Amino acid sequence: MKKFEEKKFNIPELKGISKKTVEEHLKLYAGYVKHSNLIQEHVVELGKDSEKYTYELGEINRRFGFEFCGMRNHEYYFSALESGAKNLSDKSELKKAIEKEWGSFDGWLARFKAVALTRGIGWAMLSYDRQENRLITHWVDEQHLGQLAGTQLVLALDMWEHSFVADYQPSGKKDYINDFFENLNWSVVEKNYTEATK
């Protein structure tokens, strides 16, 4: 069975987000990759007697969504922080799509930041709905509850405490969100959008 592979990221020094936080966060990502693979192995093993292990298979299959989404969400998050901050060009197709959907880039950004301040652990997301040909800003609880079926992820902001508390304290969520955008490599996000719209 083919295994999921842990990706390596070229993340420079970031504004506000310490090297230590990034290192610890990457270890959590590695854990999601590891456990996605372990679950797949256990499913094969338990599936050899699926009648006997019906309940175990049910629970482990539910767990797979959590681990897999944790792996993929982090890959979007970390890749958007690679190679240094880059602005989004005014001529960008992504910027045009954002302005079409929300009236202005600043209007969308304010909405996205408000979504990111949702109480609890989870992710603020920008996804592309291929059926409607439009962008959607939304919240995902934990890693996987609220992922929108049929959409392609464009931008992911981790709002679990492990991503910011060591550097910002619990009261510093707004500063973390602002710094995330200061560190963002928009060329990566633009590429995600281009691939989503193909």
Question: What single-letter amino acid sits at 173?
Answer: K
Secondary structure of the chain: what % helix, strand, coil (to 5)?
A: 55, 15, 30
* Contact yes or no for 117/177 (Cβ under 8 A): yes
pLDDT in tens, 166-180: 999 999 999 999 999
Cα–Cα distance, 114 to 35 (Å, whole number): 32
Beta bridge partners of 126: 137, 155
Indicate the pTM of the whole model.
0.95
Query: What pLDDT was estimated at residue 179?
Result: 98
**What is the pLDDT of the chain when averaged over all its residues?**
96
CATH 3.40.50.1360, applies to 93-196: no
Q: Taking the domains of the chain in order of start, what are their residue ranges? A: 19-79, 93-196
